[in-house]
Amino acid sequence: MANCKKIYLVRHGKIRTDGEQRSYIGQTDIPLDDTGIRQAERMRERLAQAGVKSIYCSDLERSRETARILSVNSDCPIIVRTDLREINLGEWEGLSFAEVIRRFPDKFEARGKDIAYYRIPCGESFVDCSQRVLGAFHEIVAEGTEPVVIVGHAGVNRLILCHLLGMSISNLFRIAQDYACINGIQYNGSMPQVKLLNSVAR
């Protein structure tokens, strides 16, 4: 591992949604909306002096589109990794919270009691997701010495940050991850430090 390496772990910009109801959006492929595009552009300005040499993203459109915007006016390669995808929410994908509570009350309650290990039918648990995401993250950290950007998702970023901070996955929702936020991570040898958390341009 590099002696000193900076990782900018960011979340994609705001996505297109119908209405104001909160929904389960994991691997449903939704693009950025106009606000999300502007958020990504502001994030590019904030990272302009960071010396970023490569950008990693998931294969979901909201992550790829954010990565493309961040790479404008630079020669940064974009490396797409399917293992950086958001958690797979199985049969709950695309449903509103209200609809899940109505249709699957027992499963909703069970997941609330065991947020780390509960696996939604046809989907993943957060522990499942963490295993694939952390494998990708450690490979990215080991690949070079230059600053890199990882365009993640809310769940993905929380899992990485839980790992780095020594937190239980059961506490992942204590970590805020707003649209287009930046988290700064610095490795000194093998020791990571979280230098910046959920920083958003206002």
What number of helices (H) and strands (E) belong to the chain?
A: 6, 6
Of 95, 87, 92, the closest CA to residue 157 belongs to 87
> H/E element holding 79?
strand 78-80
The position carrying tokens 């990215």 is: 140
CATH number for position 161: 3.40.50.1240
Our count of domains for the chain comes to 1
- For residue 182, give its domain range: 4-199
pLDDT tens series, the chain, 202 aa: 446 799 999 999 999 887 667 899 999 999 999 999 999 999 999 999 999 999 999 999 999 999 999 999 888 999 999 999 999 999 999 999 999 999 999 999 999 999 999 999 999 999 999 999 999 999 999 987 789 999 999 999 999 999 999 999 999 999 999 999 999 999 988 889 999 999 998 7
